[in-house]
Amino acid sequence: MSGNPVVKFYILAVGISWLGWIPVVMSSHGIGPFDRPYFQILLLFPALGPMLAAMWVMARAHGKAGVGELFNPLFQWRLAPGWLLVASLAPLMLFLLARGLTGWLGLPVIGSSPRGELLSVAVSAFLVSSLSNPWEEVGWRGFALPRLQERYAAWMASLILGVFWGLWHLPLFFWKGNPMADYPFFPWFAGIVALSFLYTWLYNSTQGSLLVTSLFHIFLNTFAAVISGVSVLALAMVYIVAALLLVALFGGTHLSWRERVRAR
């Protein structure tokens, strides 16, 4: 395995996460014994995979103290309250813009409207996301991003991480019955890479607060579950325009008016 800590992290994150996803994918195609309800517990692996990978690499390099450092940014409350508002409301704006663009351009929409009472769907999506997305952020933004920003400008670090992050999701496109299995891969992939720039902007602007990036992640997934009529292509277009505007406004070196966050 390469000596690069980000490469080590990524290989481990993929290995741990796909250990949970692949059996579920096989089950969806009628392969293997994984259709039993108790095999659903395997989905804990992708929820925790990036965090566990980051913990392993940090423990090997810095011991218990290094592992503890990974989680401190999750509780970084000493920041302007406006950033919590941005993290909560920006996803709503992005999805509403994408829905408007979908209707204006007449783009095809994949997937059905939310089933059941909207409030129940929203609460369920918020709770599930709250239990999984912060642990993803510990790996992607808490570990990988600052190490990439040691070597690269923020825009390049965002691009690299966005590609890694997008490919990490690949098994979901083979999971029969999962909404992502019907998504057009390349527009979705372009969108997720662009979205990585938005996370970097939030992360650097708040001096490395995983609380803010986690809230952004949670609300993105929540609004994705409750706002219907959004084309994958339209959403990708909105993300790409937002990423380009951030680079134009804040510059690609730091993607923020603050210094980009590097690993200590």
Does the pLDDT at position 34 exceed 90? no
Within 13 A of 93's CA, how many CA atoms are on the CB side?
Answer: 9
Does the pLDDT at position 38 exceed 90? no
**Counting Cβ atoms within 10 Å, is residue 31 exposed (0-12), middle (13-18) or buried (19+)?**
exposed
d(C-alpha 111, C-alpha 95), whole Å: 15
Does the pLDDT at position 36 exceed 80? no
Banded model confidence at residue 1, pLDDT cuts 50, 70, 90: very low
Does the pLDDT at position 31 exceed 90? no
- Alpha-carbon dihedral sign for residues 118, 123, 124, 130: positive
Q: What is the reported pTM?
A: 0.94
Average pLDDT, the chain: 92
Average pLDDT over residues 259-263: 94
Does the pLDDT at position 126 exceed 90? yes
Q: Residue 49: count other Cβ atoms within 10 Å of its Cβ.
A: 24
Average pLDDT over residues 101-121: 83
